[in-house]
Structure 1
Amino acid sequence: MNFKYFYLYILVVAFSCSPKTTMKSEDNMSNAPVSLMTIGNEEVYADEFLHIISKNRSFLEKEGTISKADFEENFDLFVNFKLKVKEAENRGLHQTEEFDREFSMFKEDLIKPYLIKNSLQEGELMKAYNRMQEIVKASHILLQFPTNATREDTIAVYRMAQKLKNQADEGEDFNELAFVHSEDPSAKENKGNLGYFTALQMVHQFEDATYGLKIGEVSDPILTDYGYHIIRLEDRKPNPGEIRVSHILIRSQSSDPVTEERILRKVSEIYQELQKPESVWEEVCAQYSEDQGTRNTGGLLPFIGIGSVIPEFERVAFSLNEIGEISPPAKTPYGYHIIRLEEKRPLPPFEEMEALIKSKILRDSRSSLIQSQVASIQKARYQFSENETLVDSLETLFDKNSRNEAIEKVNNAQLNDRIIFSAGGVDRTVQDLLDYMLTSGQIVRVGNKNLLTAWYEKYVENMLNQAEENDLASNNKEYQLTLKEYRDGIMLFTLMNENVWQKALEDSLGQVDFYEKHKDRYQWKERTEAIIVKMTKDEFTPSVRRFLSDKKYQDNLVNRLENTFLNDNPLAFTIDKDVFEMESHPILSRAIANKAFQEVKANNAIYFVLLGNKLPPGNKKFEETRGKVIQDFQEYLDQSLLDTLKSNYTVRINEEEKNRVYELVTKK
């Protein structure tokens, strides 16, 4: 996340990080709009305080309640937060182009969990994951439509599909029917048998039909983009998860029987070699495998699941049971494989697979289905009504004329002000549609559709989405509060950056002035010159100990030490030379103050310490403490800003409402 946005988030929720509390939903409060406080002329309500105080908290825990002191601290922070937001509004920080750009970006992300589309997507994600718990084996017969098929052609294909379904139901061999009638090119080899697969590996209509069958049951004709399918479910069983295998490949794509025989003999000899106790898989693989990408890494392949590799390989790989088990040679279109099982793992939990499942769903036809369902729900919810006669008239105009000519005819026919549809209580006119076509910048794929139809459908989709967004902003309390939280947060960030953070960083004169006025804050305690040698290679410890044992602290000792040992062995030890406050130093605090050379053991390491002169307590120079000065200067500027705001705005607290909120957050 961008640092600015991370800081913005921290700002908004910072005051909700004190001890955990337990609270009931704000819905339990009275529906009467009683304000919690007023700042200037603006009323602030309890639901906003409750929403923000609940950020990053576990309110469902039964143990512990928030103390009165913690509640008061959180409440004071909330008041300060609202004071700063009020000042930001009065300065117009919500009216800048930068604010609009950032707030729009946040809104786009914030609204997603509340949308109809999101709930439907979540349902599809979970349905797909639940189906992934099983693998199914199916056979099918595919009947395709002729090129440029007419309605009569479509009906004829459907009747043929229905006939084949009836024949299968009457006991005819399904796979023989597939061999004779299926137009799937693979049917001549596999008689329609597709092997095992799981969710998201077939088009969704095919998947839906297959998972809805019982073993041995034959489906009604199922329409997909490929044609009509008749499906027979052969088997279903729990998903074995994923496996990782390595392989040795000997390529064989020759039609010459003599060559094929020689290759098969070679593979058999390699397999026999692997049966010997002294054989090493990685060595045999490096010597013989013809998979150039894996031969030098023991033939190791990525994890695979059912339906993710060619059936011939999958069938043998998933038949292996014990880690290290080696298969006999298996023939695939690529040649002969000898496969070894390396690892097994179950299907990952939903949280790990969610992103992958979502990306697959959004890439296949399910995304169109979801959008169609979204539109149906939106139309019902927002009282969508359409002037179908007007739409038909416009489609005719755009069908028979170029876009510019059609628009001119619309203008001449004075159709511009006619209402084409209504949604969410808002009427949309023909001119609104034309303006959208000309100025929206949208990319609309026309495909086989009429130009007007493609643009009209896109415009309706956008206006329905806008109606849903307006509805959420008006009626969904949680969304309203979340939106307000981020709106206020963006303004707050800008205000604080201009008046506190960036100002403190850039105002070098202000930093020095603050330091001069508060020197008493920046004091050294008693310090000692010291050289600290941390041994990182145990074998050098005795020689370094002998070298240092008769030495005293000297400025040139570090160079002598480095030249003696580190030129040839740069990782033998590390050296730290400085003036330290002994009592707060993690190593020196363990040392004896008046002993010149000593050995300290800490954190499983040996340290050699040489102590020099002691320095009395005194002021830190500005350069020595600039970071702490800037931090304190920021706190000073923040407090000064708050003091100014508290004098500029009158804050009135509704103590009765405040007490009711306190009872709410402490009630179990």
Structure 2
Amino acid sequence: MSHFMNQKYFWYSILFVAFSCSPKATVVKEESQEEKRQELLTIDGEEIYPEEFLYLLSKNREFQENDKKLSPEELEENFNLFVNYKLKVKEAEKIGLDTLEDFRKEFDMFKQDLIKPYLIQNSLQEGELQKAYNRMNETIKASHILLQFPANASREDSVAVLRMALKLKADAEQGADFNQLAFEHSDDPSAKDNGGSLGYFTSLQMVHQFEDAAYSLDIGEISDPVLTNFGYHIIKLEDRKPNPGEIRVSHILVRSQQGDPVSEERALRKVGDIYAELQKPESLWEEVCEMYSEDLGSKNSGGKLPWIGLGSVIPEFERAAFGLSEIGEISSPVKTPYGYHIIRLEERKPIASFEEMEPQIKSRILRDSRSSLIQSQVTAMQKSRYSFAENENIIDEVRTIVDADLRNAREKIEAANLSDSLLFHTNLDSKSVADFMEFLQTERIQTRPGSVNDFSSSYDKFVEVSLNKTEEKDLAENNEEYKMLLQEYRDGILLFSLMNEKVWQKALQDEDGQLQFYEDNKDKYQWKDRVEAIIVNMGVEEYTNSVRRFLTGKVYKKDLADRLENTFLLDNPLAFTMDENSFEIESHPILSKADLSKNFQELKINNKTTFVIIGQRIPKGNKEFDETRGKVIQDYQEFLDKQMVASLRESYQVQINEDEKKKIYDRVVAD
């Protein structure tokens, strides 16, 4: 499944407790033609078949073994959720959500991505996959100079750009500094900062023309001008070495604001103090990370980041991370656009085997520009599969008109009564001359510089697009797995739209409804016994005595925390962390252990000193609406959802085929 699939359209899948978000599914076998297809249920006369329920139920789950099957209760729960799901889809269709332009655009976008694994194009040649993998075993370092074409470039413009590229290559080969040439002449904006250096990269990280040229060079060699969609490149290979594979690192981040000297100075001082703290033998990385890292997504898990390979992260971070050699080794502070990082090496692993990487390589090649290299093979296979046949006489007539006068070709074709003539046909559809002329107008075909046959390039593109649509039509009509997947996504988009309109946004915007729901359910929103408190967790033990002296004899006041911060944290931001609030006593990890009769006390928590200043006790009671609004809205959304389901159950006639349901029971429920 494509990486860009937005998770908001998959929220409904969590309703089915036995379902998985994996795109893999157990494909339901079709019944033999002799057997009459039986529905599982009908909603207002619309038949819904067992295959759809089983398809959703069996995602990444097989029912051959007893320990992988469901309990009767799980099946019944899933079945009821499935009925609710189909009722919501039915309601979305009834109110016309499937007719909206936004839905059509969204669904078309998903279809384009969903269909890719089923296309002939996905069956790439083994040699292309193996070549990519072989290159992945090596990383290369290169610099380049990019020369782009001016807007609406003529043939003369293109020749001029090529001549400039050849001159720069000659200058470099005669001793001119390549990176200085890139700084002065390259149209790649980053060249002003890096002199055209691209760092290390491997296969499938550059467009294929660039990759092919770079991998064919020897170290120090400069390429001839390489044409890509970006323009002409001159490439210099600087190094090549075995691929180090992937590493996993953890980091501590101190953020800074670029362009703000004060923020930069504070961040630099803080990261220096953290680095010094990490050098102490008694220092624990996880504790320091949890206390001081400003990466909220990783600080509570020791700062661990996903596996990275060369070319997958920003260069400054990559250089420092891959420069670590020993497991557990810690880098000095590293500056990136995000702030300052201290990086620790956690694990290394070599590049995976071809068998493991084959699906990933295939997916990336399909998204890569190199896919055009196999398009001619795809077209040939499509022509054979769909019995493609051309009307050569009509093609020759249209060719003569288009090549002679493209601007007025439509009028001349209409005058010659050629519009309705057949250009070509397959066993599924056909295309006329009028279809081709419409394609020319809407697609605005742009031929490569130097092309002298506008008809040939346009016609070839028209055939390619038409055959691709023929293949898509064939899949939508005849491939059961693809049909099921397409319906799943269609229904998912409709379901999200309905819930967003009738439940989520309604609950967020209906302030009167929120207040009324809160008043009707006040007993659900209760504070337990609370206490006002300031909790100080020492980070640097050397400050413990000073902080103790400062707090001894003090009582809880609203300005005490500010005074404490101004006294100590301005000089050493790592001295301690502090939390001030009204806390529920019973659930608090520190206050539940504290003696609440003392205004000030000192505790040892995980061998760390903690000071607690106790203020006023607050007895249990109702939460005010503003104190629990988020939970009220969440509960109100759940209430509206249940209300809608109950209404749909009343509005639509649902009939269940118990015989078919029993067949599913026998298949998926444990004995």
Specify if TM > 0.5.
yes
Cα deviation 1:6-38 (Å, max 9, x = unaligned) = 222122454245699999642176764211111
How many angstroms does 1:440 deviate by? 3.5
Q: Distance in 2 between matches of 1:605 and 1:48?
A: 57
Q: Is 1:609–2:612 an aligned residue pair?
A: yes
CA contact (8 A) 2:540 2:575 kept: yes
The residue identity in structure 1 corresponding to 2:243 is E
- Aligned position for 1:33: 37
Cα deviation 1:588-643 (Å, max 9, x = unaligned) = 12223434433333355332112233222211111111111111111111111111
Of residues 384, 387, 391 in structure 2, which corresponds to 1:383?
Answer: 387
CA contact (8 A) 2:532 2:583 kept: yes
Higher gyration radius (CA): 1
Of residues 436, 439, 459 in structure 2, which corresponds to 1:436?
Answer: 439
Q: Distance in 1 between matches of 2:653 and 2:127?
A: 52
Q: Give me the identity figure in percent.
A: 47
Structure 2 alignment gaps of length 5 or more: 139-172, 174-201, 213-225, 227-239, 246-308, 312-347
SS in 2 for 1:100: helix
The residue identity in structure 2 corresponding to 1:562 is E
CA contact (8 A) 2:75 2:669 kept: no
The residue identity in structure 1 corresponding to 2:572 is N
- Aligned position for 1:94: 98
Cα deviation 1:133-152 (Å, max 9, x = unaligned) = 999xxxxxxxxxxxxxxxxx
SS in 1 for 2:16: helix
Of residues 527, 530, 534 in structure 1, which corresponds to 2:533?
Answer: 530
How many angstroms does 1:442 deviate by? 4.2
- Aligned position for 2:492: 489
- Aligned position for 1:480: 483
How many angstroms does 1:369 deviate by? 4.0
The residue identity in structure 1 corresponding to 2:657 is N
More off after superposition, 450-459 vs 502-511: 450-459
Of residues 106, 109, 125 in structure 1, which corresponds to 2:110?
Answer: 106
Cα 1:534–1:453, aligned 2, differ >3 Å: closer, same or farther?
same
CA contact (8 A) 2:21 2:59 kept: no
Q: Is 1:635–2:605 an aligned residue pair?
A: no
Q: Distance in 2 between matches of 1:490 and 1:496?
A: 10
How many angstroms does 1:650 deviate by? 1.5
- Aligned position for 2:505: 502
The residue identity in structure 1 corresponding to 2:516 is D
Q: Is 1:597–2:595 an aligned residue pair?
A: no
Cα 1:565–1:438, aligned 2, differ >3 Å: closer, same or farther?
closer
SS in 2 for 1:529: strand
CA contact (8 A) 2:26 2:62 kept: no
Structure 1 alignment gaps of length 5 or more: 136-185, 187-197, 208-224, 226-238, 245-301, 305-343
Q: Is 1:453–2:456 an aligned residue pair?
A: yes
CA contact (8 A) 1:420 1:428 kept: yes
Q: Distance in 1 between matches of 2:94 and 2:624?
A: 41
How many angstroms does 1:532 deviate by? 1.0
Of residues 416, 419, 426 in structure 2, which corresponds to 1:416?
Answer: 419
- Aligned position for 1:624: 627
Of residues 468, 472, 486 in structure 2, which corresponds to 1:469?
Answer: 472
Cα 1:11–1:371, aligned 2, differ >3 Å: closer, same or farther?
same
Of residues 548, 551, 557 in structure 1, which corresponds to 2:560?
Answer: 557
How many angstroms does 1:113 deviate by? 1.0
Q: Distance in 1 between matches of 2:447 and 2:635?
A: 56
Output aligned runs, 1:205-244, within 5 Å: 241-242=242-243
Q: Distance in 1 between matches of 2:127 and 2:643?
A: 54
Q: Is 1:426–2:395 an aligned residue pair?
A: no
- Aligned position for 1:315: none
SS in 2 for 1:592: coil
Of residues 385, 396, 403 in structure 1, which corresponds to 2:400?
Answer: 396
How many angstroms does 1:355 deviate by? 7.2
Cα 1:402–1:529, aligned 2, differ >3 Å: closer, same or farther?
same
- Aligned position for 1:548: 551
- Aligned position for 2:518: 515
Output aligned runs, 1:295-310, within 5 Å: none
> TM-score, normalized by length of structure 1?
0.63
The residue identity in structure 2 corresponding to 1:393 is E
Of residues 44, 47, 51 in structure 2, which corresponds to 1:47?
Answer: 51
CA contact (8 A) 1:533 1:574 kept: yes
Q: Distance in 2 between matches of 1:528 and 1:362?
A: 58
SS in 1 for 2:501: helix
- Aligned position for 2:82: 78
How many angstroms does 1:445 deviate by? 4.2
Of residues 346, 371, 374 in structure 1, which corresponds to 2:375?
Answer: 371
CA contact (8 A) 2:445 2:458 kept: no
Cα 1:242–1:519, aligned 2, differ >3 Å: closer, same or farther?
closer
- Aligned position for 1:9: 10
The residue identity in structure 2 corresponding to 1:500 is V
CA contact (8 A) 2:121 2:366 kept: no
How many angstroms does 1:374 deviate by? 0.6
SS in 1 for 2:616: strand
Cα deviation 1:181-229 (Å, max 9, x = unaligned) = xxxxx9xxxxxxxxxxx9999x99xx9xxxxxxxxxxxxxxxxx9xxxx
CA contact (8 A) 1:19 1:70 kept: no
Q: Is 1:653–2:632 an aligned residue pair?
A: no
How many angstroms does 1:644 deviate by? 0.8
Q: Distance in 2 between matches of 1:398 and 1:566?
A: 78
The residue identity in structure 2 corresponding to 1:617 is K
SS in 1 for 2:419: coil
- Aligned position for 2:303: none
Q: Distance in 2 between matches of 1:28 and 1:615?
A: 66
Q: Distance in 2 between matches of 1:448 and 1:506?
A: 58
Cα 1:81–1:358, aligned 2, differ >3 Å: closer, same or farther?
closer
Q: Distance in 1 between matches of 2:21 and 2:113?
A: 28
The residue identity in structure 2 corresponding to 1:71 is L
Q: Distance in 2 between matches of 1:240 and 1:3?
A: 32
Q: Distance in 2 between matches of 1:130 and 1:64?
A: 36
CA contact (8 A) 2:20 2:59 kept: no
CA contact (8 A) 1:386 1:422 kept: yes
Q: Distance in 2 between matches of 1:367 and 1:520?
A: 62
Cα deviation 1:438-475 (Å, max 9, x = unaligned) = 23444444854522222211111111111101011101
How many angstroms does 1:525 deviate by? 1.3
- Aligned position for 1:221: none
Cα deviation 1:407-461 (Å, max 9, x = unaligned) = 4443333222221110243222222212222234444448545222222111111
SS in 2 for 1:34: coil
SS in 1 for 2:561: helix
CA contact (8 A) 1:23 1:60 kept: no
Q: Is 1:662–2:643 an aligned residue pair?
A: no
SS in 1 for 2:40: strand
Cα deviation 1:374-432 (Å, max 9, x = unaligned) = 11111111111111232223323434x21245444433332222211102432222222
Cα 1:429–1:503, aligned 2, differ >3 Å: closer, same or farther?
same
Cα 1:486–1:394, aligned 2, differ >3 Å: closer, same or farther?
same
Cα 1:539–1:485, aligned 2, differ >3 Å: closer, same or farther?
same
Q: Distance in 1 between matches of 2:4 and 2:375?
A: 35
How many angstroms does 1:81 deviate by? 0.8
SS in 2 for 1:610: strand
Cα deviation 1:161-191 (Å, max 9, x = unaligned) = xxxxxxxxxxxxxxxxxxxxxxxxx9xxxxx
How many angstroms does 1:71 deviate by? 1.6
CA contact (8 A) 2:129 2:358 kept: no
CA contact (8 A) 2:535 2:613 kept: yes
SS in 2 for 1:452: helix
Cα 1:557–1:497, aligned 2, differ >3 Å: closer, same or farther?
same
